[in-house]
Amino acid sequence: MPPAIRNEDARQAILDATVALCVERGFATTTIEGIAGRAGVGKTTIYRWWPSKAAILIEAIEAARDASAGFPDTGDIQADLVTQTTNVMSLFQSDFGRLWRGLIAAAQSEEAAAEGVTRILRVAIDGCVARLAAARAAGQIRGDLDLELVVELVYGPVYHTWLLRTRPIPEGYMASVLATLMPAFAPTPEGA
């Protein structure tokens, strides 16, 4: 059976309703019935296009992420990582953060949510790895670095402080984190 053709107005209403309800009530208490009512569509319309509320939220999160969390390339890897991670932290402090936190929590027990979180993170990881590879090619970071490990080291503090709420996040937090990490990534003088 071919996929149903989406009415763009209904699609956007469903995405908007899902985001609004998840922000107001949280992911766990948002229902398909509630989304349908808020969007002014039938439940069957939603289920024709998405298999679950997680799938709807994943689509909304991907759109928000794509609009605001890209990787700059100014030629200065440290400055670019500070810019990008600071943008991510700002995004996490917005309604997006509440949505993302709810989806991450759902991913612990719902396979659809877990697959969506993994897909969203894979795009972000691949983007960062590409930027790091360009920095490595330009001689800004060591050639022997495992770039996926660098991503984990850079973003670990973001998730640790934000997701676990371990402490208030001061302005300039990621600049401090990266100032601490970058010496470990720096190329060593040849022959040293």
pLDDT in tens, 88-126: 888 888 888 888 999 999 999 999 899 999 999 998 899
The whole-number pLDDT of residue 71 equals 82
CA distance 64 to 54: 15
Q: Which residues are within 8 A (CB) of 66 and not within 5 positions of it... i.e. 6 or more apart?
A: none
Q: For residue 185, give both structure tokens.
A: 């990534």
Contact 16, 36 (CB under 8 A): no
Q: For residue 113, give both structure tokens.
A: 């949510």
Q: Tally the C-alpha atoms within 13 A of residue 102's C-alpha that lie toward its C-beta.
A: 24
User: Is the per-residue pLDDT at 4 higher than 60?
Assistant: no
The whole-number pLDDT of residue 2 equals 45
Helix (H, G, I), strand (E, B) or coil at 107: helix
Average pLDDT rounded to a whole number, residues 68-76: 82
Count, residues in the chain: 192
Backbone angles phi and psi of 151, in degrees to 5:
-55, -45
Contact 173, 89 (CB under 8 A): yes
Contact 2, 48 (CB under 8 A): no
Q: Could you report the per-residue pLDDT of 126-174, keeping only the tens digit for each?
A: 999 999 999 999 999 999 999 999 999 999 999 999 999 888 888 899 9
Q: For residue 79, give both structure tokens.
A: 């400055």
User: Is the per-residue pLDDT at 1 higher than 50?
Assistant: no
